[in-house]
Chain A
Amino acid sequence: MPLRKHFQIAALVAAVIAVQLAVTLSGNSHHLTQLTMSAYYSLVIVGLCLLIGYAGQISLGHAGFFAIGGYISGFLTTYNLLPYKDKAIVSIFAKTGLLVGRQDLYGGQALTFHPWTAGLIAVLATFVTALVIGGPVLKLKGHYLAMATLGFGIIVYRIVLGTEKLGAADGISDIPGFTLLPGLQVSGAAGLRIQNYYIAWGLVILSVTLLVNLVHSRIGRALRSIHGAEDAAQAMGIDTAGYKLKIFVLSAVLASIGGVFLTHYNGGIGPSEASIMKSVRYVAIVAIGGMANLWGALIMGFVLNFLSLRGYFGTYDDAVFGVILIVIMLFAPEGLITRSVFSNIRRLFGKAAPEAEV
């Protein structure tokens, strides 16, 4: 099994490189933009897959966490603190190097938070929010859990939509790039496409490696037992509430990291990122991938997000996801990419499929 795990990760790395080469060599470099964006959405999806598929807890509010990350980081890196330069707190920030002075779009001086500071604050804020919300929310089950997470998502959406400082319906724009290391910048500049593609997918590979290891560990087995029979798991001495909360927080943090990066990459964020349809879309992708199937979710997330971002669904974008959701849930609640599909493919190539244990 460990060997197989390494093989899967290696396959992912190879696929990422192959896609980049194929796209660049065929002269479609502009596709890298959408490929990069779908990588950041994939972060939300793999986290959500762990929560829904492995821990058995639905969340209809993950776009909220994505938006918290993106909005906080976007706001802190664009809000000009220069008028407050003399306030004690601001000068403390400035002295500790948390702030950065730069030219704004119109050539004026601006003093804002450094992207690193802003990003860390954003992720930390999501962490705390998820921890606070997660405690009581995860005590709920079934419809109550779905409605509570949906409610959380709507609250975030209403707040970003109704707050002038966050740009209300227009969102935040002119967000600067994020220099990760000298020479390595998250930004939408055309010259940095390849670099950004690898930053994004590198992040995905890192997260997936983490999650795959998690799934194969004691925690993963505990999670599956919670999904199977929560009461029985509890009776066996598994701290079900603790595990559920940890996974909820982990998936929220992944979503917010996706939000932070995508916001700096796009140079802006709008309230639609927090909308319910976005949350539902993430759930739909996890469902199509096969709920408890990280790789399925990753593949479907990549394909569907890319098609959607390229505009293949046109004005029927939301309708497509609605139809997919229903069809999958009616006819294939186990998802499209199931183990039997994989073993069938393997049989096609003449190799005997070992009776699957992932």
Chain B
Amino acid sequence: MNTQLFFQYIVAGVTYGTIYAIVAIGFNIIYNATGIINFAQGEFVMLGGMIAASLSGFMPLPSAILAAVIITMIIGALIEMIFIRWLDRPSVLRLIIITIGISIIIREAALFIWGEGVKALPYFTGTSVTVISIGDVHLSPQVLWSTGISAIMVIGLNLFFNYTLPGRQMRACSSNRNAARLCGINTKNMVTLSFILSAGIGALGGCVVSPMTYVQYDSGTGLAIKGFTVAILGGLGNSMAAVAAGMLLGILESFSIWIMPTAYKDVISISILLGMLFIKPSGLFGSAEAARLKDF
């Protein structure tokens, strides 16, 4: 393998890694606030991409994306308020099954609304054949857009969690819900906020990558399992590590095409998930002691 091809694989890996990291961050935000793994996380990404693609026919690209993100956030809030908010100390099994049910309903609704066809936003700048060359490596400007926007998103989240009141309240909830409640934090609202936030992040991610990867009514499930793999690799709840883990998985996957048929690409990443769960469920960067203190 020559260096040019090598870098090309890296670029492809980073592109996919970005979206995996975004899904993983969505998982982490809700997990931190509630202890729930939201199995419908991938559906937020799909919804963002599909809604934006539909709206882009009527309005300029930036407003279509903005509208898609806001609509998905509203859907996220509604999901939490209708299905989760009023449950009294639900068991983990119950929550797993409920979020799976939600993902099925969103997927079937998407199938009903948009049909089976793939959708994509236009490229943000240039067209599908526009190429930026850095030395020998050629990349699409969309790769820069998606990694750039994701980077801004991660930095923004960091600022949000560290320097704003709602962000700090959410962190308080995640470290000790009862103590947070005693300090006067409305923990239920924090849970809703976490759904809104992760729906918005997922939707934006869906918009940015849809020109390259396309979205379809059933894109969510695959993304959810990849996102979960990344979240586990980085250590559940750790969003910064998720970015690194996302890149790692994306790159591993893109190199796997080199030794295995493309049809088995998913098998590689899920095997990594299983291996990780079996050997070190606390993640590459997580500590086993800390993981033992969590609920599961």
Contacts and interface: CB of A to CB of B under 8 A. Distances in A.
Contacts of B228: 147
Interface in A127-152: 136-137, 139-144, 146-148, 150-152
A68 interface: no
Contact of B37 (A137, A147, A163, A276): A147
B83 to A, nearest CB: 7
Interface in A163-207: 163
Given A142-B295, A144-B281, A326-B102, A154 B96 contact: no
A162 interface: yes
Contact of B104 (A136, A139, A325): A325
B225 A287 contact: no
Contact of B101 (A140, A154, A329): A329
Given A143-B37, A162-B264, A58 B104 contact: no
Given A283-B97, A326-B83, A158 B264 contact: yes
A136 B100 contact: no
Nearest to B228: A147
Contacts, number: 112
A276 B218 CA distance: 12
Interface string B223-264: 001001000100000000000000000000000000001011
B271 interface: yes
Contact of A329 (B94, B107, B108, B278): B94
A322 interface: yes
Interface residues of B, number: 37
B277 A148 contact: yes
Interface in B70-106: 83, 87, 90-94, 96-98, 100-102, 104-105
Given A58-B96, A140-B281, A152-B274, A326 B105 contact: yes
Contacts of B90: 333
B75 to A, nearest CB: 15
Interface string A7-44: 00000000000000000000000000000000000000
Residue of A323, A329, A330 with highest tally of chain B CB at under 10 A: A329
A334 to B, nearest CB: 11
A295 B279 CA distance: 38
B231 to A, nearest CB: 10
Contacts of B107: 318
A124 interface: no
Contacts of B108: 316, 318-319, 322
Interface size of A as a range? 35 or more
A34 to B, nearest CB: 23
Contacts of B267: 155, 158-159, 162
Given A283-B97, A330-B83, A323 B105 contact: yes
Contact of A140 (B93, B100, B277): B277
A142 B263 contact: no
B270 to A, nearest CB: 4
Contacts of B295: 142
B23 to A, nearest CB: 13
A163 B97 CA distance: 31
B101 A323 contact: yes
Contacts of A139: 278
A139 B281 CA distance: 11
Contact of A322 (B105, B261, B270): B105
A144 B107 CA distance: 23
A162 B105 contact: no
Given A155-B267, A330-B98, A322 B104 contact: yes
A319 B221 contact: no
Contacts of B225: 147, 150-151, 154
Interface in B187-239: 221, 225, 228, 232
Contacts of A148: 273-274, 277
B270 A58 contact: no
A321 interface: yes
Contacts of A247: none
A161 interface: yes
A44 to B, nearest CB: 17
A319 B270 contact: no
A280 B105 CA distance: 13
B58 interface: no
B273 A136 contact: no
Given A276-B221, A325-B98, 10 more contacts: A60-B100, A146-B96, A147-B228, A155-B271, A162-B261, A162-B267, A319-B104, A319-B108, A325-B97, A326-B98
6 contacts: A142-B96, A151-B274, A154-B225, A159-B264, A284-B97, A329-B97
